[in-house]
Amino acid sequence: MKSKGFEYLKKITAVDYTDHFEVIYLVYSIKEGKDEIIKVKVPAESPEIQTVVKRYPAADWYEREMSEMFGIKITGRSAKRLLLELWNGSEYPLRKSFTWGKDYKRVD
């Protein structure tokens, strides 16, 4: 994507459609003022996606946040700590299967 001139990464996020995940990349070409949305389907069972952090350094925090919120494993990059450090890695709050009202313990 970057070779096509979309050099600016705006956001990486995901949507949980319960039977699969969709990882969304919003990229932008500053020169042409053009947006591009890339949607990648990821299976619900053991979701994994290749990192883009080498091409887009901006992806670092977005990938870590998405990984923590959706439990989508990012492969091909160094295992840094989680970004928000709020969930202990067994529950992923932005998944639709997330259960409300449980007593969550903060990870320190």
Partner 1 sequence: MAIMRINVGPIHPGTHGVLRLVVDVDGDTIKDVEPHIGFLHRGVEKLMETRMYMQNPSYTEKLDYIAPLSWDDLYVNSVEKALGVPVKEPAQYERVILLEFQRIASHLLWLGTMVNDIGQLFTIFMWCFRERAKVLKLLEDVSGSRMFYVNLRLGGFNKNPPPDFAERCHQLADYLESKITGYQDVLDADSVFMERTRKVGVLSKDDAIAHGVAGPVLRASGVQEDARRSHPYYVYDKMDFRVPVKANGDAYDRYRVRYEEMLESIRIIRQAVDAMPEGDATGMPIRLIGPQAKPDTIIMQEELPRGEGIIYMVPDKQRPYRIAMRSPAFANLAVLPKISKGQRFADLFSIIGSLDVIMAEIDR
CB neighbours of 98 closer than 8 A, spacing ≥ 6? 91, 92
Pick 45 or 54: Cβ nearer partner 1: 54
Provide, rounded to whole angstroms, the least separation between the CB of residue 56 and partner 1: 7
> Shortest Cβ distance from residue 9 to partner 1 (Å)?
5
Q: Is 67 exposed, middle or buried (0-12, 13-18, 19+ CB in 10 A)?
A: buried
Point out which residues bind partner 1 (CB under 8 A): 7-11, 13, 15-16, 24, 26, 30, 33, 35, 37, 56-58, 60-61, 83-86, 93-94, 98
3-state secondary structure of 89: coil
